[in-house]
Structure 1
Amino acid sequence: MSKLLYTLLLFFVFNNNLYSQIIYTDISDVTPNASYTLDLNNDTIIDFIIQYGGSSDTIGVICHPQNSNAYAGTIMAGNYLPWALAASSTICPSTATWYDTNNPGTLGWGTNLGYWVGETDKYLALKLIVGTNTYYGWARIDLVATSSSFTLKDYAYQSTPNSCILAGQTNLRNPENTNKSSALIYPNPMITSTTLKSINPLYNATLTLYNSNGQTVKQVTNILGYDIKILRENLQSGLYFIHLSDGNNMLAVEKLQISDGYK
C-alpha cells in the first residue's frame, strides 16, 4: 500500500468516526396525563406522539408517527402492533416492517392486546425522516398492565443516515441498560404459533415454556440458528413464560400470551 493511499485511508476512518455518533437524550422519567410529544433529534419538530386514552372501560397507548416517520412492528387481526424490543436488539432498515403516519401503532390496549402490556424497560424502534435522510433510533418505555399509563425514560438515534443502532445504545461501542433478554417473540399474543428470534446465533440452546403456575409445559433442546418456532398444540389460553438458555447461561426470559383470538 502506498503512503498516499494509507494516509487517505486513515483520513477516511478518522472522519467517519468523528462525524458518526449516537445522539442520546436522557430525560427525567415522564408519565404524562395523556400524551408525550417526542422530538427524537431535538430540532423542535415533533416526530412522534405517544398517547393514551379510550373509554372508561378500556384504555390504551398508541404511537402516532408524525410526518413520514415510522415505528417497527407487525399487523395482527387488523391491529398495528409496535414491537417491544429487548436491549441490544438491532434496529436497521431491514429489521422489520415499518408503519408510518397512516397506521398508528397500539403499544397496549386493555390487558391483553399489544406486545407492551405490563412491560418494563423495552424499546420502541423508530425511523426518522429528515429531508432526504433516514435515521434509526429508539425510545425506552414502560407500560402498566392495564395500558392506562406509560412512562418514557430516554431515547437516542444514530446520526449517520441509514446506519443501524442497538436498542439501548448510547454510544458507538456499548448499549446501555443491557439485560439478559436478547430475543424477540412475534406474534405475541399468539393464537396458533409464534417465533422466537434470537439476536445472536444459537448453537446448543434449550427453550423451556412455563405456565403461570411455574410448571414446565413444553421444552425444545439442541436449538441451532436464530429462529425457534413454537406451536400452540394443546396449550390453553393464558400467560406463559419462556426461558432460553445455553448450558448455565440464561439468554432470554420473555412473557408469551396465548390467545383464542381477538374479539
Structure 2
Amino acid sequence: MVKLLFIMRTKNIFHKRVTTLCIILILFFVNSKLYSQIIYTDIPDATPNATFSLDLNNDTVVDFIIYFGGSASTIGVMCNPQNNNAYSGNFVNETYLPWSLSTSNTICASLATWYDFNNPGTLALGTNIGYWVGASDKYLALKLIVGTNTYYGWARIDILANSASFTIKDYAYESTPNACIQSGQNNLDITEYTDKNLISIFPNPFVASTTIQTNRNLKNANLNIYNSYGQIVKQVNNLSGHTISLSRDALLSGLYFVKLTEENNVIADEKILITD
C-alpha cells in the first residue's frame, strides 16, 4: 500500500512538472509571436538605369546592390550583397544563380546555400541564363547580418526577357533574429501606397519635440512609431488637419520609424532620429 501511494505521488509530481513545462513552452511561443513582426517596405516601383541600393531594414546602410552586369553585347542583372549579407541560390556552370521564388516559399537557414559579397549572383543574363529571365513578381531570398543577429527577408523584382531592365517593387524582413519568413509575406491587413513626399518632419533629428506637416487633410488618422526591432513604442490616434505635434516623452535616443495611416491605408512613412 505504501509503495502504491509512493508511485501515485511520483506520477502526480511528474504530471504537474510536465504540465508546468508545457505551459511555459506555450507562453514562450505566444510571447515570441507577439514580439515577432515583419517590417514591410512598399516603394514606388523603381526601374533604375544603373543600380538600386537596397536597404532591407531601413537603417540607412546599404545591404544589397542590384545592378547591370555582363558585357556590351549581353547585358545582365546582378545582385551584390554588402558586408556579410547574402542571397540564396545555387552554383551552375561556374555561375552563381540566385533563386527566383514564387509566393509562400519559406526563407530562413533551412535554404540550402547562401552566397555573400565574395560571390555576386547573376539574376539574369541575356535571354537564357539565370532563373530571373522574364520574371514577374518573383522573390529574391535575402539574409541580413546586423551585429551578431541574423535576419531573413525578401525583395520582389521583375526582369525583362532580354535582361535589359529590372524593377524593384517592395521588400520585407522578419525582425525576430533567425525567424523564418515566407516570400511575399508582410503581415499587413491594410493597403499601402507610400509616398514620402506627403509628409515633412522638422526638426529631424530632434531632442524634445518635432512637427510633422502633411499636404493631405487628415481625418481620424493614426500615427505609429516603431523602434528598430519593429515594435510599436508610441501611438497618436484620431489625428485631423495638416499638422501633427510629436513629443518625445520617454523615448530613448536613437532611430525610429514613423507610419501614418488613414482609413486602413498607409499614406506615408519616414524615419526620425531622437538625440540627447
- TM-score per shorter chain, which class? 0.5 to 0.7
- Give the CA deviation at 1:8: 5.4
Q: Structure 2: how far apart are the matches of 1:130 and 1:54?
A: 31
Give the number of equivalent residue pairs.
173
Which amino acid in 2 is paired with 1:73? G
Which residue of the partner structure matches residue 201 of structure 1?
none
Higher helix fraction (1 or 2) = 2
Instruction: List aligned pairs for 1:1-263, cutoff 5 A.
Output: 12-171=28-187
Residues 128 and 56 of structure 1, relative CA distance in 2, 3 Å threshold:
same
Contact 1:139–1:153 (Cα < 8 Å) also in 2: yes
Q: Which runs of 5+ in 1 are unaligned?
A: 174-263
Higher radius of gyration, 1 or 2: 2
Q: Structure 1: how far apart are the matches of 2:117 and 2:149?
A: 17
Contact 1:107–1:114 (Cα < 8 Å) also in 2: yes
- Give the CA deviation at 1:159: 1.0
Query: Which runs of 4 or more aligned residues in structure 1 lie more than 4 Å from their structure 2 counterparts after TM superposition?
Result: 1-11
What is the DSSP-based 3-state SS (H/G/I as helix, E as strand, rest coil) of the residue aligned with 1:33?
coil
Q: Structure 2: how far apart are the matches of 1:6 and 1:162?
A: 23
What is the DSSP-based 3-state SS (H/G/I as helix, E as strand, rest coil) of the residue aligned with 2:156?
strand
Q: Structure 2: how far apart are the matches of 1:26 and 1:71?
A: 20
- Give the CA deviation at 1:146: 0.7
What is the DSSP-based 3-state SS (H/G/I as helix, E as strand, rest coil) of the residue aligned with 2:32?
helix
| Coordinate RMSD, CA, aligned | 2.2
Which residue of the partner structure matches residue 240 of structure 1?
none
CA offsets 1:108-131 (integer angstroms, 9 cap, x no match): 011111000001000000000010
What is the DSSP-based 3-state SS (H/G/I as helix, E as strand, rest coil) of the residue aligned with 1:16?
helix
Contact 1:108–1:117 (Cα < 8 Å) also in 2: yes
What is the DSSP-based 3-state SS (H/G/I as helix, E as strand, rest coil) of the residue aligned with 1:134?
strand
Q: Structure 2: how far apart are the matches of 1:13 and 1:99?
A: 31
Q: Structure 2: how far apart are the matches of 1:6 and 1:99?
A: 39
Contact 1:21–1:159 (Cα < 8 Å) also in 2: yes
- Give the CA deviation at 1:96: 2.1
What is the DSSP-based 3-state SS (H/G/I as helix, E as strand, rest coil) of the residue aligned with 2:31?
helix
Percent identity between the two aligned chains: 67
TM-score relative to the length of structure 2: 0.59
Contact 1:63–1:107 (Cα < 8 Å) also in 2: yes
Q: Structure 1: how far apart are the matches of 2:24 and 2:101?
A: 39
- Give the CA deviation at 1:7: 7.6
